[in-house]
Amino acid sequence: MPERPTLSPGSPRLLLVDPYVAREDPMERKFVELYPSLGLLTLGAYLRGQGIDVALTDLTFARDARPVTSKLREFRPAIVGVHTKTLTHARAIEVAERARAEGTFSIAGGPDAATRPEEYLEAGFDAVVPAEGEAVLVDVARRVARGEDVAGVPGTVVRRGGRLVRGAPRPFLRDLDSLPLPAWDLVDMEEYLRSWERSTGERRAAVLTSRGCPFDCSWCSKPTFGRTFRQQSPERVVAELRALRDRYSVNYVRFCDDVFGVSRPWIDRLLTLLHEEGLALKWECLARVDLLKPDLLRRMRAAGLERVYVGVESGSQKMLDLMNRGTRLAQVERTADALRREGIRQFWFLMLGYPGETLDDIEATLRLFRRFSPEEYSVSIAVPVPGTRFYESVKERLSGRPRSTRGAGGRSLLYEAAYPERLYRWQQARFGLEAALGRARGRISPRVVEGIGRAADRFHEKVATPLLTGKKPPAQLTP
């Protein structure tokens, strides 16, 4: 088991909470994607290393937030730290209310609170950390335990007299290798691993090798780490993989980096180490088509790579340029071909409704999709997230706000785009049909598949498009 530092009887106590309740999430019932929050596990390990007594209440497998109150009464922390995502906004607020009822100071961190700290403060949190949490949480925990005010502490936002008081920004941690291994023992790892074993036969865990992303896509929200990019050494990554295998018999890893393998020398070294260590892990990652060169993919496959998530986004070069993706269609084609050749599953992310997109651009995306038939995909409707250039370009035309990044975001139109929402929903259905036809190829006659495809295209052109676009002329929106 991991080493725990000895804590003095007077050590400040801090309770971390993950307010995500999987059974409340309809998507979770369909696609099992359960991993403990790496943010919280890393915070927990770091806080312990600084002499703070930490516990974690993880609601993932719970029915509701009641375990928070029991833990507050049993553990008596000075401070409750809550991880936030848009999806879990309401539950996070409920945790703050439960903390208040027990007289405990509450602090929110993570991507959602970072984007809208004032809402979390108004709803009852005592403080918000809108960035990297390690150093600031240690500072706040010590001050709260000593009964000091935290207003103005670097890295925090609080409310005083109806106004926001922001502390100066804190510098990011320079050396990610200095972070301890995630404190997996703070959650019930066996429950996560069993749930993966039941659905896939594998014992899966998530690993993060870097923080941030050096690219600059116009719609991407990077509330916590901004445009910074830091990575662990390949040696440190292998140490974490070895620990997961030895302690938890993990045999499949999801690398959760925003973009995996940004630096070629780094990934080359990691692949060499994986080979030398003989860890025999299977793995998956999210990467960019411009980085996945065919020779690299061959090496990655040999080192256990099973599946890659790629942000293809659009089949129109004009749209890729408007999104500032920095990728070329030729790179998409080269990568999709190489993935197929190497037998690596590909999951494509596609986006509809970005400003400037016409029906022709959507057709180009559908043609690309048809040509390569990725094994898995997701087609979302562009969501203007506050803080992005996309949001700035459409903020005068908002028609809703992302309440849940799953429910509203990506599935509903939240700004006045070129076409009505029903047109985008119909287009999503066309991708669904295309995927089904792709799967049917090889099982039913190609002539039948082609015939259904042609009939669907005719219906789209003659009936659906005129009906769904109505008479409204496309809005002239450019980012």
Contact letters for ligand B12, residues 260-279 (x by CB under 6 A):
--------------------
Distance CA 40, CA 111 (A): 12
Phi, psi of 252 (to 5 degrees): -145, 130
Q: Which of 19, 77, 110, 261 touches ligand B12 (CB under 6 A)?
A: 110
Q: Which of 111, 355, 374, 384 touches ligand B12 (CB under 6 A)?
A: 111
Q: What is the 3-state secondary structure (H, E, C) of the chain?
A: CCCCCCCCCCCCEEEEEECCCHHHCHHHHHCCCCCCCHHHHHHHHHHHHCCCEEEEEECCCCCCCHHHHHHHHHHCCCEEEEECCHHHHHHHHHHHHHHHHCCCEEEEECHHHHHCHHHHHHCCCCEEECCCCHHHHHHHHHHHHCCCCCCCCCCCEEEECCEEEECCCCCCCCCHHHCCCCCHHHCCHHHHHHHHHHHHCCCEEEECCEEECCCCCCCCCCCCCCCCEEECCHHHHHHHHHHHHHHHCCCEEEECCCCCCCCHHHHHHHHHHHHHHCCCCEEEEEECCCCCCHHHHHHHHHCCEEEEEEEEECCCHHHHHHCCCCCCHHHHHHHHHHHHHHCCEEEEEEEECCCCCCHHHHHHHHHHHHHHCCCEEEEEECCCCCCCHHHHHHHHHECCCCCCCCCCCECCCCECCCCCHHHHHHHHHHHHHHHHHHHHECCECHHHHHHHHHHHHHHHHHHHHHHHHCCCCCCCCCC
Interface stretch with ligand SF4, choices 91-99, 117-125, 214-222, 271-279 (CB under 6 A): 214-222
Contact status: 406 vs ligand B12 (CB under 6 A): yes
145 or 437: CB nearest ligand B12: 145
Contact status: 220 vs ligand SF4 (CB under 6 A): yes
The option from ligand SF4, ligand B12, none interacting with 159 (CB < 5 to 8 A, set by class) reads none
The option from ligand SF4, ligand B12, none interacting with 217 (CB < 5 to 8 A, set by class) reads ligand SF4
42 or 327: CB nearest ligand SF4: 327
The option from ligand B12, ligand SF4, none interacting with 452 (CB < 5 to 8 A, set by class) reads none
The option from ligand SF4, ligand B12, none interacting with 216 (CB < 5 to 8 A, set by class) reads ligand SF4
106 or 221: CB nearest ligand SF4: 221
Interface stretch with ligand SF4, choices 49-57, 212-220, 394-402, 458-466 (CB under 6 A): 212-220
Distance CA 324, CA 123 (A): 36
Site residues (CB under 6 A) for ligand B12, limited to 62-91: 81-83, 85-87
The option from ligand SF4, ligand B12, none interacting with 411 (CB < 5 to 8 A, set by class) reads none
75 or 172: CB nearest ligand SF4: 172
Contact status: 19 vs ligand B12 (CB under 6 A): no
Tell the residue number behind the tokens 């080493």, with chain if given: 3
Cβ within 8 Å of residue 294, ≥6 positions away: 334, 338, 341
Q: Which of 17, 56, 217, 319 touches ligand SF4 (CB under 6 A)?
A: 217
Contact status: 43 vs ligand B12 (CB under 6 A): yes
Interface stretch with ligand B12, choices 29-37, 230-238, 417-425, 468-476 (CB under 6 A): 29-37
Q: Which of 55, 181, 259, 329 touches ligand SF4 (CB under 6 A)?
A: 259
Binding-site size, ligand B12 (CB under 6 A): 37
Interface stretch with ligand SF4, choices 199-207, 211-219, 351-359, 385-393 (CB under 6 A): 211-219
Interface stretch with ligand B12, choices 36-44, 197-205, 227-235, 327-335 (CB under 6 A): 36-44
Site residues (CB under 6 A) for ligand SF4, limited to 292-311: 311
Residues that bind ligand B12 (CB under 6 A): 20, 27, 33, 35-40, 42-43, 81-83, 85-87, 107-112, 115, 129, 132-134, 137, 206, 208, 221, 224, 256, 258, 405-406
Residues that bind ligand SF4 (CB under 6 A): 213, 215-217, 220, 258-259, 288, 311
